[in-house]
Amino acid sequence: MTVAISVQNLKFRYPDGKEALRGISFEIADKECVGLVGPNGSGKSTLLLHLNGLLPESLPKSPDVMIYGRALGRETATEIRRDVGLLFQDPDDQLFCPTVYEDVAFGPQQFGLSEQKLKVAVMKALEVTALAGHEHRSPHHLSSGEKRRVCLAGVLACEPRVLALDEPTSNLDPRGKRNLIQTLKSIPSTKIIATHDLEMVVELCSRTIILDQGTIVADGPTHSLLGDEQLMLSHGLEKPHILRHLHPH
């Protein structure tokens, strides 16, 4: 088994003194899809930012995050960012270019792809996210669902081995959500999805990690964790409807 993400005793305190992560350890295997759930402020987004080396602001000398066997430190951060594609919560933060094409091309461009290869990569990403033909639109003319898809295309164009998604279905209508889930299903890379959308977790993730107040309170198969009403309620969550109607045979 190849280990994609390995986190050892990760701690983080925000400058204002808030302790966001209090010693987190877990491993995620190659091609695994893991749901990261927990109440607001439990540290989900903070954790994802760590996987990309965006936090802490000065990377530690003794790294606590390993991506495909490489320790995430000052020297490796740039390369590791290529391996880990991060989808941000607010699409407007992530879409900073004047047109869809330029935005999707931004990542690969930073990695120095040739004009020819760049175009192929962008077109492929737009194809996967059903955005072909929208290349020349401006982000401020897109709907929320389209914005989200452009963000995903921008991440996919970098061909990351790990996808770290922060609330990918928030603000989406049911159809947008369905399409997104289908798209994610079709992408074979390792995935870690921070979300409140438990139905999506049931559908996409075989394993779930529950985070509360900066610690991992449970880590195991999605069905047994999310199906445990007591556990869910005690951490500000609830048993998803889908599981209420699933009976063991």
Binding interface with another protein (CB under 8 A): 49, 52, 54, 78, 81-82, 85-86, 88, 90, 92-99, 102, 106-107, 110-111, 138-141, 154-155, 158
Torsions phi, psi for 186 (to 5 deg): -80, -10
| Nearest distance in Å: CB 214, another protein | 20
101 or 222: whose CB is closer to another protein? 101
Q: Please name which of 215, 177, 211 lies closest in space to residue 194, comparing C-alpha atoms.
A: 211
Structure-token pair, residue 238: 């609830």
Using alpha carbons, select from 219, 213, 236, 217 the residue that is nearest to residue 11: 213
Q: Do 174 and 16 touch, CB atoms closer than 8 A? A: no
**Which CB, 120 or 233, lies closer to another protein?**
120
Tell the smallest beta-carbon distance from residue 50 to another protein (Å): 12
Of the two residues 68 and 106, which places its CB atom closer to another protein in the complex?
106
Which residue(s) pair with 211 in the sheet?
Answer: 216
The secondary structure of 6-37, three-state, reads: EEEEEEEECCCCCEEEEEEEEEEECCCEEEEE
- Check if the beta carbon of residue 246 is closer than 8 Å to that of residue 51: no
* Listed residue (68, 36, 49) closest to 10, CA to CA: 49
Residue number, 92 or 229, with CB nearest to another protein: 92
Minimal distance, residue 95 CB to another protein, in Å = 8
Provide the minimum distance between the beta carbon of 154 and another protein in the complex, in angstroms, as a whole number: 7
Q: Which is nearer to another protein, 136 or 241 (CB)?
A: 136
In angstroms, give the least distance from the CB of 81 to another protein: 6
Instruction: Kindly state the smallest distance separating residue 19's Cβ from another protein, in Å.
Output: 20
Nearer to another protein (CB atom), residue 138 or residue 182? 138
Residues with Cβ within 8 Å of 101's Cβ and at least 6 positions away in sequence, in order, are 122, 135, 136
